[in-house]
Structure 1
Amino acid sequence: MRTPGRWWRHKSTPEKVETYTRWSFHFFAVMEFFSVGLTSVAPLGARLGTAVMLVVAVHATLCFVTVSRAIDWTRGRRPQPTALLWTLAAVTAAIAAAAIGLAELGPKGERVDTAAGGVFGVILVFGPGIIALGVRDRRRAFGIAGGFAAGTWIVAFALGAAALTALFTALIVLVGGVFIAFTAVFSVWLMNAVYELDEARETRARLAVAEERLRFGRDLHDVMGRNLAVIALKSELAVQLAQRGRPEAVTQMVEVQRLAQESQREVREVVRGYREADLGSELAGAQGVLAAAGIDCTVGGATAAGLPAPVQSALGWVVREAATNVLRHGDARRCAVRLRVLEGRVVLSVENDGVSEAGAESGAGPAGSGLAGLRERLAEIDGTLEAGPAGQGLFRLTAEVPLPSRSAPSGDVPAAVAVRSMSEVTS
């Protein structure tokens, strides 16, 4: 059974902001019912108070539904709830007019006036503010609050209230309605901005992967383009010489064979350079890519200099694979990479806070086929790899590789790469 805490942690940052926005305005509807609906029963009596409570409950329910529909419309999941907005506006105006009528023409008494005034004020403040959620134009959203304030003055004056009293009441409605409308407009803007930033981060991550693929393709083209062109020309020449019975055809085919073998060697070098990177360069590159994607990445511990080439190659691939999976999966805000050179072994750990427990179990961290590939690579040098949840929403990957006895210094040394925040990268 999923607890509320786990349900919240499994949401991405934009989803958390949307949930917070949605339930903040839902709370307005709940607060409306409990603040003026239930409290109207005692001062108005059982019969009239119950009727007022039911009317307020209808308005609160309309507000609750309007919040959900309006936010879904803002995110493009459903059409604009125009009919619902007009219904809420009409019900708000009708209840407010009825509250004024109850205060002016209903049973006399301070408690009745207080209850009617509370219903009137809360309804006319929350109603226009929630309607503003379903309006895209900001001036129109504030205009709705102004329209209700103007209507308040007209109705109050028509029902016998003094002109100054009606004006003061209208000003209160205007200030409260504009404040809630501003809150609605700002909340929608903030929610959309968070979604756009998250989409931009995902785009940057995809562009980084695409750029690396283009680099590899460019290197391969540079290596193979000239050699294949020469092989084609020499093969054509050898065919023509062979058709004429010329002995030089054998010489040309020997040259073709040499070029083919040379091309194989160069392709292997390109692939080796792509798959076996320098550990120091990979640490710096991972920090830069993650920081560019909005993830605060810190690299610390021992220096990579002096480690054997096979160890650097294997751990460099671990860093590259782990950084790629942090970008692709979860919603990480921080990532910590630490390299330790201990007695006879090197330990590399990569820890981030953006992988859900479910994602970890299904291989959403550095898992799946990537995890199997890393274990195979480390097994070639007697290394091990562990990956899994580390508690409190963390995911940790730890690679351990033994060192030859002559290359095994002990203890940690100062960090190879300084901590660089996102603000330093973007500046």
Structure 2
Amino acid sequence: MSPRAEHDDPPEETANDRRMRVVRLVIMSSMGLVVLVMLGIPLLELVLGGPGHVLWRSLAAEATVLPMSLLLLLLLRDRIDGRRIPDPRYYWGSLVLLAATVLLLQGPTMAMGLIASWWGVGVFTAPRERTVVVTLALAAAPWPLILTADDGVPVAVHLFLWVAAIVWALLLASGSMATIWLWDITKQAVEGQHARSRLAVTEERLRFARDMHDLLGHSLSALAVKAELAGRLVDRAPDRAESELREVHDLAREALRQVRSAVSGYRELDLIEEVASVRGVIETAGARTEVTGLDVLGGLEETGGIAALAAWVVREGGTNVLRHSDATRCRIDFSLIEDAAEGRALIVEISNDRAREGGDGTGNGLTGLSERLSAVGGGLTAARTRDGGFLLRAVLPV
């Protein structure tokens, strides 16, 4: 990606990506709690071991359950990062270590708890067909241990514990499934916001390109025809050639005026449409936007371009919110004031609740806007608020 493309990325992506990293960390941490449960099963057997307990087997089980849990975490990481097909090395390696740990454990009860815990998390890291086969194998795995166990526990009790392990696995799987699905939905929503923001930027570029074509296509074509005609008439009809050259000069000045108009954003700029556009883009970035005072705008179209200036203030203020804030709330307020000394004025205020550090209102855009307002006797102030937000206030004399 070119440096220019990186500069043009929507500013809300930084804040959204930061939030997504926090959510990802929370999900991985919650899944890590299940891993801690599995790590604790051999230790629990070691603590509760009675007569005939073999110490080295519990220690060996702990040694195998640790890499098994790490591989399971790697599978979860890949799944959360969007990899639907797991790395075979992680998946089968974790299953082999699970089988080794089960064989090292000295009681079917602990083995059933370990198998259920692994299945409750690992079931979502593999394709459906593989999951069905692995599920059936894991469900049957405890029974050879149960039937050969010499612990004096009736088979009916083991059957009850086996059913309880299945219930525990299903409960754990439900929580894991809900967490992963919520993550997928959130990620898709954020990606959708990014896509809409990029689309808005692209549409604005296309609008500008279309405006430039519409503005200059006719003017430049007329310039070419007039200049060619004047060149042919220089010798045959000097007076008419001079007239044509004057028209070429007028057309060139008009084309220059149109270019300046398009660059300034004043061509057919509608204040109501600009407010709706800025509001939509800011809300796409995740900030709830409230607009008040639109009812005072009636009749401003007849006040010598004040509505167009107000639209430019709204556009620059919206850009300031997107580039220099992590806002969750934004307000766009319009009001008319009457002053005996200064007369009637339109007040446009754009505020947000979370200004970033370094955003002091001295950017080129605000400087240019301030100069433009000063040219018509207006004024512009931009400053942080006490609650950590930012307020842009423009005074436009009517």
TM-score, scaled to structure 2: 0.74
Shift of 1:197: 2.0
Alignment partner of 1:152 out of 135, 142, 149: 142
Residues matched between the structures, number? 370
Q: Deviations over 1:316-360 (max 9, x none)?
A: 33432343455567765543434455786836132155x6xxxx2
Cα distance in structure 2, aligned partners of 1:341 and 1:50: 84
Contact 2:351 2:390 in 1 (8 A): yes
Contact 1:337 1:349 in 2 (8 A): yes
Secondary structure of 1:348's aligned partner? strand
Distance 1:318 1:78, change over 3 A: farther
Aligned partner of 1:335 in structure 2 is 330
- After the TM superposition, which residues 350-389 of structure 1 pair with which residues of structure 2 at under 5 Å, given as runs? 350-352=351-353, 360-363=356-359, 368-377=363-372, 381-387=378-384
Contact 1:282 1:319 in 2 (8 A): yes
Determine if the alignment matches structure 1 residue 43 to structure 2 residue 43: no
Aligned partner of 2:117 in structure 1 is 126
Shift of 1:19: 1.8
Aligned partner of 1:226 in structure 2 is 218
Shift of 1:232: 0.8
Secondary structure of 1:274's aligned partner? coil
Cα distance in structure 2, aligned partners of 1:351 and 1:155: 65
Contact 1:129 1:180 in 2 (8 A): yes
Distance 1:209 1:352, change over 3 A: farther
Cα distance in structure 1, aligned partners of 2:66 and 2:175: 18
Distance 1:361 1:65, change over 3 A: farther
Cα distance in structure 2, aligned partners of 1:329 and 1:166: 63
Aligned partner of 2:69 in structure 1 is 63
Distance 1:232 1:62, change over 3 A: same
Distance 1:11 1:198, change over 3 A: closer
- After the TM superposition, which residues 42-191 of structure 1 pair with which residues of structure 2 at under 5 Å, given as runs? 42-44=47-49, 48=54, 52=58, 55-56=61-62, 58-60=64-66, 62-72=68-78, 74-75=80-81, 80-99=86-105, 102-103=106-107, 117=109, 119-135=110-126, 137-141=127-131, 143-159=133-149, 168-191=160-183
Distance 1:367 1:173, change over 3 A: farther
Contact 2:330 2:350 in 1 (8 A): no
Contact 2:115 2:138 in 1 (8 A): yes
Give unmatched runs, 5+ long, in structure 1.
1-8, 104-115, 408-427
Determine if the alignment matches structure 1 residue 316 to structure 2 residue 311: yes
Shift of 1:398: 0.8
Cα distance in structure 1, aligned partners of 2:267 and 2:178: 48
Contact 1:40 1:49 in 2 (8 A): no
Aligned partner of 1:257 in structure 2 is 249
Secondary structure of 1:383's aligned partner? strand
Contact 1:386 1:397 in 2 (8 A): yes
Q: Which moved more, 1:288-297 or 1:323-332?
A: 323-332
Aligned partner of 2:228 in structure 1 is 236
Shift of 1:143: 4.4
Contact 1:81 1:134 in 2 (8 A): no
Contact 2:79 2:125 in 1 (8 A): yes
Shift of 1:24: 1.0
Determine if the alignment matches structure 1 residue 305 to structure 2 residue 297: yes
Distance 1:370 1:152, change over 3 A: farther
Contact 1:29 1:61 in 2 (8 A): no
TM-score, scaled to structure 1: 0.70
Q: Deviations over 1:355-393 (max 9, x none)?
A: 6xxxx2255x987544544555556533211147844xx
Distance 1:52 1:202, change over 3 A: same
Secondary structure of 1:190's aligned partner? helix
Secondary structure of 1:361's aligned partner? coil
State the AA in 1 paired with 2:49: L
Distance 1:337 1:27, change over 3 A: farther
Contact 1:22 1:71 in 2 (8 A): yes
Shift of 1:10: 8.6
Contact 1:224 1:263 in 2 (8 A): yes
Shift of 1:210: 1.7
Cα distance in structure 2, aligned partners of 1:240 and 1:385: 57
Aligned partner of 1:202 in structure 2 is 194
Shift of 1:294: 5.4
Shift of 1:263: 2.6
